[in-house]
Structure 1
Amino acid sequence: MSDALRNAGRISVSDKDARMERVLSPSEFLPGWVIYGPLVIFWILSGLRYRDFAVATLANPHIPSGGLCNESKSEILAQGGPDATRHVAPWRTFPTGPAAFETALKEMSAAGFSFPVVLKPDIGCKGAGVRLVSSREQLRDTLRQYADDTLVMLQAFIPYENEAGIFYSRQPTEQHGRILSMTFKSPPEVTGDGVRTLRDLVLAHPRAGKVPHIYLPRLTGRLDTIPKQGERVRLVFTGNHSKGSQFRDATSLVSRQLSERIDRIAQSYPDFHHGRIDLRFRSIDSLRAGQDFQIIEVNGIGSEPIHMWSPEKNLLDIYRIQFDFYGRAFRIGDLMKKRGHRGAGTMNMLWQWRRQTALIATYPQSE
């Protein structure tokens, strides 16, 4: 096991790490049409092959659009049985509006939450609108940035520094599923020296300095401050690639114990066959033992196989991984259709995507 993976809960890239391994793939921040254009073509060709452009959404028939888009995070989590709920980070939902702040405090009290907490929209993707809220004042301010009647989720902050995305898949004909990939997520951070400004530290960082446009806008108002000697400053909170987190393919570390635990959790959700479980964990050893982790979200077929963003992956790898994972969703959905499940159709799938896109445009910037 490499040192980078052994320490991968917090993959803070040091100068030594940068010399030893690639910290940024040339393909990571290419325009969206380059990354996803071929996937759209692949989706169309698969739809023609199966005579149903929305059949992949039947891979998870109890989730709207199979989890492709516009699905409720809380409704998915609520479907889990005991094998799942004991591992899910506690959460509460409520709508935004004039009374949202008071409602949030009541929900926090009822749930036994204390600051910091995670506030995020109940419908969203790629970390849109996710904030780590550390005080009553910050909670009030963040809620005011949402449009009224937006359903939001308050979730207990899990203090483990390590975060992972585990992609699970099970054919309907199989008794047990398997982990197709496991990816460690790490928001880059800088360490203050008492001399340089935060802006200078970002620009000198071996990863962030190569794509400063990803990080600097999120630090507006702090860029000219000088962090103290030894002060660690996390550049982003959200464990999402498009927001700047670094991903490492850790599939080689998947163990039998972890596979069995994730399989029991996934099968406690009704007809959940294909998607990603995002979680925070204490240590690599405990995760491999299937212990000491808390699930943040369960995502359906729209969740990316995020190991494709690992720095060693090139553009052809990204295409191959996407075709493999989404092709599997089509095959599973076709089997579920043959078993009698019926989806809402292509037009509904497109409507769900448009509604989600419109909602995300109203959310405050994530951290």
Structure 2
Amino acid sequence: MNQASTAATPAAGKTRQPSPLSLFEFWPGWVFYTPVVLYWILMGLRHRDFSLPTAANPRIETGGLCGESKTSILDMAGDEARRWIAPYTTIVTGSTDDGRAARMALEQAGLSLPVVLKPDIGCNGTGVKLIESQDDLALTLDQYPRGIRLVLQRLIPFEHEAGVFYIRHPDEAQGRITSLTYKEAPVLVGDGRSTVRQLIDADARTRLVPHLYLPRLGERVHDILPTGEPLRLVFAGNHCKGSIFRNGADDITPALVEQIDRIMQDVPDFHFGRIDLKFESIAALRLGVGFEIIEINGVGSEATHIWDSRTTLREAYATQFLHYRETFRIGAKKKKAGWRTSGAFTMLRYWRLQRRLLASYPLND
């Protein structure tokens, strides 16, 4: 019997057993993204505007490329879209008692623990924390720098998580879903004899990337899990933090497309990005029901099915190029309609802000 398993999200209708990692899955970012950057430059030269994608979602800072506020996007949602978004509130660190400020904000928003605590400006799950008690809340708030806006969002009760990539051109009546990715947390299962570190080393996938899990486990790596006891290795549903991604393209149905399109058309001038959500079951998701939205990401987001270990390098770059080509095309249409692009210097300023903030956040759960 395997000593590790994943959360029970079924993958799309694939019969071939996936290999533990793809060829490029954990290449250094500068290696994998160099062709993507070169393609961006090529498109910028062709359109005579390197920041053209920032106009694709013109009401969001940099179109959501980098440095944007998560809640500023969610706050734009109309009545129809809002009822699909998990309730949230925010605080700014630096008060005399951040814990008390957080409790008051939760009370005013009608929220109670458990909640997910995360930076309002963030990326790749950095700084995301699960808060289950008042003691957790007070201790965790102290780990963030002062003057940072934090989001407290109701913990969605559904087990499964997905990323849905949505595109709608301004001259199209209906948008489309170009990617559906299931996100699974690796779960160790105790055998009553092995330590957590030994279980990690015994699993075909986790033993190849132990550095993703060991820092957050701390001294727990020496614990021996009782027989049958599970240990989820990561909470944040992000590939670079250790979650496993599966291509769910087979489960993109007309009903799901219609529902996502209805929601996203209720977010003003949103045309390109990924919706991260949690859902009850694949059967419900295929019907366009039984899900709640965690957050909405703009032009800096990816079609994350490329991180499925079955994806080839050629398929991954084809997907990247297709999506960035689309965001340039949409940005050109929005610019022609009178919207302005951010400009290269503004993009750089927001990128540097995001990079500085990410370096200051605590390790995610």
TM-score (norm 2): 0.94
* Cα-to-partner distance string for 1:123-162 (whole Å, 9 max, x where unaligned): 0111111011122112111110111110000000012110
Do the aligned partners of 1:35 and 1:319 also contact (CA within 8 Å) in 2?
Answer: no
- Cα 1:221–1:245 shift into 2, 3 Å: same
Counterpart of 1:222 in 2: which secondary structure? Answer: helix
1:242 equivalent in structure 2: 240
Q: 1:195 is matched with which residue: 193, 196, 220?
A: 193
- Where does the alignment leave 5 or more consecutive residues of structure 1 unmatched? 1-6
Q: Kindly state the Cα deviation for residue 289 of structure 1 after the two structures are TM-superposed.
A: 0.9
1:153 equivalent in structure 2: 151
Counterpart of 1:355 in 2: which secondary structure? Answer: helix
Q: Kindly state the Cα deviation for residue 228 of structure 1 after the two structures are TM-superposed.
A: 1.9
Q: 1:329 is matched with which residue: 327, 330, 337?
A: 327
Q: Given the alignment of the two structures, is residue 93 of structure 1 paired with residue 90 of structure 2, yes or no? A: yes
Q: Kindly state the Cα deviation for residue 23 of structure 1 after the two structures are TM-superposed.
A: 3.0
* Cα-to-partner distance string for 1:162-197 (whole Å, 9 max, x where unaligned): 000000001111010000110000111111122211
Q: Distance in 2 between matches of 1:256 and 1:18?
A: 24
Q: Given the alignment of the two structures, is residue 277 of structure 1 paired with residue 278 of structure 2, yes or no? A: no
1:362 equivalent in structure 2: 360
Q: Distance in 2 between matches of 1:324 and 1:126?
A: 22
1:22 equivalent in structure 2: 19
Q: Distance in 2 between matches of 1:86 and 1:94?
A: 22
1:63 equivalent in structure 2: 60
Q: Kindly state the Cα deviation for residue 11 of structure 1 after the two structures are TM-superposed.
A: 4.7
**Aligned partner letter, 1:96:** T
Counterpart of 1:361 in 2: which secondary structure? Answer: helix
Q: Distance in 2 between matches of 1:265 and 1:112?
A: 23
Moved more, 231-240 or 219-228: 219-228
- Cα 1:216–1:9 shift into 2, 3 Å: closer
1:32 equivalent in structure 2: 29
Counterpart of 2:188 in 1: which secondary structure? Answer: strand
* Cα-to-partner distance string for 1:24-47 (whole Å, 9 max, x where unaligned): 212110111111111111111111
1:103-118 equivalences under 5 Å are: 103-118=101-116
Do the aligned partners of 2:76 and 2:268 also contact (CA within 8 Å) in 1?
Answer: yes
**Aligned partner letter, 1:218:** R
1:164 equivalent in structure 2: 162
2:347 equivalent in structure 1: 349
Q: Kindly state the Cα deviation for residue 19 of structure 1 after the two structures are TM-superposed.
A: 9.2
Moved over 6 A (4+): none
- Where does the alignment leave 5 or more consecutive residues of structure 2 unmatched? none
1:1-12 equivalences under 5 Å are: 10-11=8-9
Q: 2:45 is matched with which residue: 36, 45, 48?
A: 48
2:213 equivalent in structure 1: 215
* Cα-to-partner distance string for 1:58-78 (whole Å, 9 max, x where unaligned): 000011100000111111001
Q: Given the alignment of the two structures, is residue 293 of structure 1 paired with residue 291 of structure 2, yes or no? A: yes
* Cα-to-partner distance string for 1:316-366 (whole Å, 9 max, x where unaligned): 222211111111100100111111111231111111111111111110111
Counterpart of 1:152 in 2: which secondary structure? Answer: strand
Q: Distance in 2 between matches of 1:256 and 1:156?
A: 29
Counterpart of 1:330 in 2: which secondary structure? Answer: helix
1:4 equivalent in structure 2: none
Q: Distance in 2 between matches of 1:19 and 1:75?
A: 42
1:83 equivalent in structure 2: 80
Q: Kindly state the Cα deviation for residue 9 of structure 1 after the two structures are TM-superposed.
A: 6.2
Counterpart of 1:223 in 2: which secondary structure? Answer: helix
**Aligned partner letter, 2:108:** A
**Aligned partner letter, 1:322:** Q
- Cα 1:19–1:331 shift into 2, 3 Å: closer
Counterpart of 2:66 in 1: which secondary structure? Answer: coil
Q: Distance in 1 between matches of 2:112 and 2:223?
A: 28
Equivalenced residue count is 358
Q: Kindly state the Cα deviation for residue 18 of structure 1 after the two structures are TM-superposed.
A: 12
- Cα 1:18–1:232 shift into 2, 3 Å: farther
**Aligned partner letter, 1:131:** K
Do the aligned partners of 2:67 and 2:353 also contact (CA within 8 Å) in 1?
Answer: yes
1:125 equivalent in structure 2: 123
1:254 equivalent in structure 2: 252
Counterpart of 1:277 in 2: which secondary structure? Answer: strand
Do the aligned partners of 1:12 and 1:189 also contact (CA within 8 Å) in 2?
Answer: no
Counterpart of 1:60 in 2: which secondary structure? Answer: coil
Do the aligned partners of 1:258 and 1:290 also contact (CA within 8 Å) in 2?
Answer: yes
Q: Kindly state the Cα deviation for residue 237 of structure 1 after the two structures are TM-superposed.
A: 0.5
Q: Kindly state the Cα deviation for residue 227 of structure 1 after the two structures are TM-superposed.
A: 1.6
Counterpart of 1:88 in 2: which secondary structure? Answer: coil
Q: Kindly state the Cα deviation for residue 216 of structure 1 after the two structures are TM-superposed.
A: 1.3
- Cα 1:142–1:27 shift into 2, 3 Å: same
